[in-house]
Amino acid sequence: MKVLTKKTDYAIRALVMLGAQKGSYVSAKAIASEQDMPYPFLRGVLQEMIRHDLIVSKEGVQGGFMLAKDPDEIGVRQLIEIFQGTVQISECMFRKQICANRSRCVLRHEIMRIEQVVHHEFEQITIGKLLRKLHAGENLRPA
Partner DNA sequence: TTAATTGATATCAATATAGTATCAGTTATA
Partner DNA sequence: TATAACTGATACTATATTGATATCAATTAA
Write out the residues near ligand FES by the rule CB under 6 A. Answer: 92-94, 98-99, 102, 105, 107-108
From a copy of itself, ligand FES, DNA, none, interface partner of 47 (C-beta below 5 to 8 A by class): DNA
Residue 137 burial by Cβ neighbours in a 10 Å radius (0-12, 13-18, 19+): exposed
Q: Please report how close the Cβ of residue 17 comes to DNA at its closest, in angstroms.
A: 12
How far from 30 is each of 7, 25, 27, 64, 137, CA to CA, in Å?
17, 10, 5, 9, 22
97 binds a copy of itself (CB under 8 A): yes
Q: Identify residues 48-107 at the interface with DNA (CB under 7 A).
A: 50, 57-65, 84-85
How far from 79 is each of 10, 14, 87, 124, 126, CA to CA, in Å?
10, 12, 12, 12, 10
Tell me the C-alpha distance between 133 and 41, whole Å: 27
Q: Please report how close the Cβ of residue 25 comes to ligand FES at its closest, in angstroms.
A: 26
**C-beta separation of 89 from 38 below 8 A:** no
Of the candidates 36, 53, 61, 62, which one interacts with a copy of itself according to CB under 8 A?
36
Nearer residue to DNA within complex by CB, 33 or 133:
33
3-state secondary structure of 115: helix
8 binds a copy of itself (CB under 8 A): yes
Which residues would be at the binding site for a copy of itself (CB under 8 A)?
1-6, 8-9, 12-13, 16, 34-36, 80, 84-91, 93-102, 104-107, 110-111, 113-115, 117-118, 121-122, 124-125, 129-130, 133-134, 138-143
